[in-house]
Amino acid sequence: MENTKELWDGIWSSESKSLQEHIFDMEKGKKGTVWKGIYKIIKEHFDNINQLHVVELGAGCGYMSALMAKMVHKVSMIDYSDSAIEQSKAFFNSLGISNVEYINANALNLPDCLCNSYDVSMSFGLAEHFQNNDRKIVIKSHFDLLKQNGLSFISVPNQHCLPYQIWKKKRELLNKWDVGLEIPYSRKEFKSICNELNINTYSFIGSSFLSSLNYIFPFNTWKRSLIKRIVPNYYQRIDLIKPEISTPIDSYLGYAIVLCGTKTGC
Average pLDDT over residues 91-110: 94
> Residue 200: pLDDT band by 50, 70, 90 thresholds?
very high
Query: Quick one: which H or E segment has residue 32?
Result: none
pLDDT tens profile 118-158: 999 999 999 999 999 999 999 999 999 999 999 999 999 99
What's the CA angle centered on 4, arms 34 and 133, to 5 degrees? 70
Give the pLDDT score at 233.
81
Alpha helices in the chain (DSSP H): 5-13, 19-30, 33-45, 63-69, 82-95, 134-144, 162-173, 187-196, 209-212, 219-230, 250-253
pLDDT surpasses 60 at 100: yes
- Within 10 Å of residue 15's Cβ, how many Cβ atoms? 13
- Which of the two residues, 8 and 183, has the higher pLDDT score? 183
pLDDT tens profile 45-54: 999 999 999 9
Residue 79 · residue 88 · CB < 8 Å: yes
Give the pLDDT score at 219.
66
By three-state DSSP, how is residue 228 classified? helix
Give the pLDDT score at 163.
95
Domains of the chain: 5-157+181-207+256-262 (3.40.50.150)
The torsion defined by the Cα of 131, 6, 77 and 87, in degrees rounded to 10, comes to -130
pLDDT surpasses 70 at 266: no
Three-state SS string across 186-202, please? CHHHHHHHHHHCCCCEE
Give the pLDDT score at 263.
96
Residue 27 · residue 234 · CB < 8 Å: no
- Which of the two residues, 210 and 233, has the higher pLDDT score? 210
Beta-bridge partners for 102? 77
Backbone angles phi, psi at 259, to 5 degrees: -80, 125
- Which of the two residues, 172 and 230, has the higher pLDDT score? 172
pLDDT surpasses 60 at 39: yes
User: For residues 159-194, b (16+ Cβ closer than 10 Å) or e, as one string?
Assistant: bbbebbbebbeeeeeeeeeeeeebebbebebbeebb
> Residue 3: pLDDT band by 50, 70, 90 thresholds?
confident
Lowest mean pLDDT among 111-115, 164-168, 196-200, 221-225: 221-225
The CA-atom distances, in angstroms, between 260 and each of 40, 47, 137, 183, 187 are: 12, 18, 17, 19, 12
Give the pLDDT score at 15.
75
Give the pLDDT score at 73.
97
- Which of the two residues, 225 and 146, has the higher pLDDT score? 146
> Residue 223: pLDDT band by 50, 70, 90 thresholds?
low
Average pLDDT over residues 51-61: 93
Average pLDDT, the chain: 91
pLDDT surpasses 60 at 198: yes
Average pLDDT over residues 222-239: 76
Average pLDDT over residues 222-233: 73
Share of the chain above pLDDT 90, in %: 73
